[in-house]
Amino acid sequence: MIKDLEAEFKNALIDGGIFLAVNTKIIPDGRLRRASAVNDKPGQLSIWYNLHLDTPASGVAGNWRTGARVKWSSKRQSALTATEKKTLRLRAEEERARAQAEQQARYHNAAERALKIWAASAPAAPQHPYLDRKGITPGIARQSGPSLVLPVVGFNGALHGLQFIHPDGHKRFLPGMSKAGHFIPTSEIPDGTRPLWIAEGWATASSLAAMKQDACHISALDCGNLANVAQAARAKWPGLEIVLAPDFDAIGQEKGRAAASAARAMILPMPARIPEGATDWNDIVAARRQGVGP
């Protein structure tokens, strides 16, 4: 019976887009537990869950990285008694509070690690291979070993995490950091006194900053965070001119339009002619330097 309930719970996770690493053993003790996702790196524990087997059997789970969340019960809602519904409601409230507390602790720990790494990092080398390839200056970037280090901040200036860019262009964020609504500035933190331009990547934002120096330019980290950053800026500065510069691919443009609508912002029109292989405004600037751009 217990094995059957655990199997049902695991199947519910799969249906909800939460994929445990192979051979993960579920511990059904009613406590918040962590587990590895199938695509986690060694040591990563992106999945959290809480499974109760006492009547009525129920569980919740989520993936910190993807945002996927599942709520499961062994009985249909219509079959629950009033007492069982109350039990499930109380469990859900307790689990939500515990999950939020753990998330905040993860964010706090990541911010503390970010401060230490940032303080120990040196100014970025102007000849760093990534900077050379992108045709941009170091700006605010620092360097730790071979990797560029970029600060991920909020509009209040607080450091929440870091982005690392390896010489080959591979990027990664500091594990556990708070990402939603946070960004990488190209220079100073926005203060609402100049138009705000928001690109996806830092190199693109840096290229746009060189093109339009009377605006403040930031990177939203990726297209999925454009709306979060733009809406946070709009809430802080209701009358500010906000311009979004998403990448040229279909997903970037779709996310950009949605973000613009949600934040009452404008979108920077794509060039009339895009050189072959160009995917963003950094590529356009590079093409223009080579005399092949629009």
In angstroms, the CA 142 to CA 60 distance is: 41
156-164 own/partner pairs: CB under 8 Å, 24+ apart:
157/189, 158/111, 159/111, 159/114, 159/115, 159/118, 160/107, 160/110, 160/111, 160/114, 161/110, 161/111, 161/114, 162/114, 162/117, 162/118, 163/202, 163/221
The DSSP H or E segment spanning 219 is strand 216-219
What's the rounded mean pLDDT across residues 176-198? 96
In angstroms, the CA 240 to CA 207 distance is: 22
Residue 225 backbone dihedrals phi, psi, to 5 degrees:
-105, 0
Q: pLDDT tens digit string along 39-86?
A: 998 888 899 998 988 878 888 899 988 889 898 888 777 777 888 878
Question: pLDDT at position 64, please?
Answer: 81
Return the higher-pLDDT residue of 6 and 259.
259
Return the higher-pLDDT residue of 64 and 274.
274
pLDDT band at 1 (very low <50, low <70, confident <90, very high): low
Pick from 105, 137, 82: nearest CA to 34: 105
Looking at the DSSP bridge assignments, the partners of residue 71 are 60
